[in-house]
Chains A and B, each alone.
Chain A
Amino acid sequence: MISSHVDPVDISSTSAQLALNHVFKIYPGRQSWQDKLLRQTSPDFVALADINLEVEANTFVSIIGPSGCGKSTLLNIIAGLTPPTRGSIKLNEVEISKPGPDRGVVFQNYALMPWMTVFENIRFAIETVYPHMTIVEQKNIAREYIDLVGLRGAERKHPHELSGGMKQRVGIARALAINPKILLMDEPFGALDALTRGFLQDEVARIWEQQRQTVILITHSIEEALLLSDKIVMMTRGPAARIAEVLDIPFPRPRRRESLDQYPAYHELKAELEMHLSQETRAVEEARIKVKP
Chain B
Amino acid sequence: MPFVRFMANSLPQRRKLVPIWNSNLQALALFLVVLIVFLGAWELGVQLNVFSQLVPSASRTLQAFWGWVSDPFFDYGPNDKGIGWHVLASLRRVVTGFLIGSAIAIPLGILIGLSDVISKAVDPYIQVLKPVSPLAWLPLGLGLLKDSENTALFVIAITSLWPTLINTKFGVSNVDPAVLNVARTLGASRWRTIWKVILPAAAPSIVAGLRISIGIAWLVIVAAEILVGGTGVGYFIWNEWNNLEITSILTAIIVIGLVGLLLDRLFGLLQTWVSFGQR
Contacts and interface: CB of A to CB of B under 8 A. Distances in A.
A109 B179 CA distance: 10
Nearest to B277: A160
Contacts of B53: none
Interface in A88-114: 99-101, 103-105, 107, 109-114
A129 interface: yes
B186 A115 contact: no
Interface string A139-177: 000000000000000000011110000000000001000
> Which bucket holds chain A's interface residue count?
20 to 34
B274 A79 contact: no
Contact of A128 (B176, B183, B274, B277): B183
> Which bucket holds chain B's interface residue count?
20 to 34
B277 A109 contact: no
What DSSP secondary structure best describes chain B's contact surface? helix
A251 interface: no
A128 B192 contact: yes
B188 A128 contact: yes
B277 A158 contact: yes
A114 B276 CA distance: 6
B278 A107 contact: no
Interface string B173-187: 000101101111111
A227 interface: no
Interface in B158-194: 176, 178-179, 181-188, 192
Nearest to A117: B276
Contacts of A83: none
Contacts of B178: 107, 109-111
A47 interface: no
Contacts of A110: 178
8 contacts: A81-B181, A107-B178, A110-B178, A111-B176, A113-B201, A114-B276, A114-B278, A158-B276
Interface of B: 176, 178-179, 181-188, 192, 196-197, 200-201, 203, 274, 276-278
